[in-house]
Amino acid sequence: MLTKNHNDICAYKGNIIWSSQLGKLQSIEKGYIIVQDNNIKGVFSYLPAQYNNITLKDFGNKLIIPGFVDLHLHAPQFANRGMGMDKELLQWLEKYTFPEEGKFSSLDYAKTIYKELIKEIWKQGITRSVIFSSIHKNSTRLLLDYFIKAGLGAYIGKVAMDRNCPDYLIQPTEVILEETEEIIIAYNNKSNLVKPIITPRFIPTCTPSLLKKLGELAYKYNIPIQSHISENFREIEWVKNLHPEFENYAEIYNHYGCFGQVPTVMAHCIYNTEEEIDLMNKNGVYAAHCPDANYNLANGIMPARKFLDKDVKVGLGTDIGAGHKLSIKDTMVSAIQASKLKWLKSNKTLKWLTIEEAFYLGTKGGGSFFGKVGSFEEGFEFDALIIDDTPLGTTNISLKERLERFIYIGDDRNITHRFVGGKDISKPNF
């Protein structure tokens, strides 16, 4: 581990690549990032004279890129990765997902799985995550504690469900509110990097009364919200039948104060109407694009370009266990591939995502949900990965091509260091 004391100022030297804007890729060959405390002071092609005497860590020919951000995943589905992909969403929840999540009533089981999960998140260079836990208060607290111990960034939410799910996952509305508030009070100011998030699972499993009260709780404590929206035809039909009084899916969340009244992430967004997309833009609601999960559950393809054209904030989600792999780098590739199918399906009207755009979505796109995260601009928190891509081939190619190749064919073995909030994070030693 590189030691860096509080108030330390340090220069990191290497081939620096980042994206501060959708579609734009910036790079400096053999450049310097100056970091003081947690934050970036500046990025330079030379070492400015005033920094001549500071600690310099030279990464040679390696790449320095922002840490990856996973805007949507389910911690208690970690053990189900890569299994049970023979069902659509609602049957998949019933047959595989709910029974697995039920196991997290056992703290011992949670300990085993959550330790493995956090090691994998670290390994994959995911420096910030937005996470659904299960309905269980103690397992959720454990997960928050493990993240704090590991030094990785996360929003973590205890899942709220008070209807339409198995007995062992249903809780009375009042109990959900009490337990959610208890976690907020205990954790909201405990760590700068790890915080609670309010988590109604989706409309079918949340009564209007629960949604309303969760919305009020979020507003009272200024806690963000995450949920799912418009992922699957049958889910959307079900929501229409449950709530014929509303114009569309988004209006239900919006009516109950769960759609941008506090910072909000909605996962999937495959079948949103133009009106819903406009509302997401107006309310600043984030879309978590989860292409692997969308393929695996035969949900469909999110028209990411439509959201970007309407200036909706978009990030990437692995959505494990519907997604099979906890890798944001691989999710970038899937997002590009999905967008090419969408381009074909749209008679070539919806332009596909470029590598620069996918890289932005998996770094600053999702990172902005955490504040100044996901880029190497002045004042941003220093979340970074050091990439040794020599095993991928040593032909003389540009920095952009090296980044693209790492994203397409590299893996965690190419990541030699992971920095979160200015700190070099070693493998969690649980």
Binding site for Fe ion (CB under 5 A): 267, 319
Binding partner of residue 201 among Fe ion, ligand GUN, none, CB cut-off 5 to 8 Å per kind: ligand GUN
Minimum distance between the CB of residue 285 and Fe ion, rounded to whole angstroms? 16
Burial tier of 220 (Cβ tally within 10 Å: 0-12, 13-18, 19+):
exposed
Minimum distance between the CB of residue 50 and Fe ion, rounded to whole angstroms? 47
Minimum distance between the CB of residue 163 and ligand GUN, rounded to whole angstroms? 13
Residue 267 or 355 with smaller CB distance to Fe ion: 267
- Could you give the strand order of the β-sheet that contains 68-74, starting from the edge strand earlier in sequence? 68-74, 126-132, 153-157, 194-196
Residue number closest to ligand GUN, CB atom: 322
CA distances from 169 to 1, 68, 97, 193, 260 (A): 41, 32, 11, 29, 27
Calpha distance 417→125 (Å, rounded):
8
HSE toward the beta carbon, residue 189, CA cutoff 13 A: 2
Residue 201 or 364 with smaller CB distance to ligand GUN: 201
Minimum distance between the CB of residue 113 and ligand GUN, rounded to whole angstroms? 15
Calpha distance 88→232 (Å, rounded):
8
Residue 27 or 180 with smaller CB distance to ligand GUN: 180
Binding partner of residue 258 among ligand GUN, Fe ion, none, CB cut-off 5 to 8 Å per kind: none
Q: Name residue, tokens 């959550």.
A: 114
Minimum distance between the CB of residue 1 and ligand GUN, rounded to whole angstroms? 35
Binding partner of residue 41 among ligand GUN, Fe ion, none, CB cut-off 5 to 8 Å per kind: none
Residue 161 or 267 with smaller CB distance to Fe ion: 267
Residue 238 or 343 with smaller CB distance to ligand GUN: 238
Interface residues with ligand GUN (CB under 6 A) are 74, 89, 93, 97, 201-202, 228, 231, 293, 319, 322
Minimum distance between the CB of residue 250 and ligand GUN, rounded to whole angstroms? 15
Q: Which residue, among 360, 373, 350, has the nearest Cα to 407 in the 3D structure?
A: 360
Query: 148 and 194 in contact (C-beta within 8 Å)?
Result: yes
Minimum distance between the CB of residue 249 and Fe ion, rounded to whole angstroms? 15
Residue 201 or 342 with smaller CB distance to ligand GUN: 201
Binding partner of residue 97 among Fe ion, ligand GUN, none, CB cut-off 5 to 8 Å per kind: ligand GUN
Minimum distance between the CB of residue 35 and ligand GUN, rounded to whole angstroms? 37
Residue 40 or 338 with smaller CB distance to ligand GUN: 338
Residue 319 or 383 with smaller CB distance to Fe ion: 319
Q: Name residue, tokens 């709780």.
A: 217
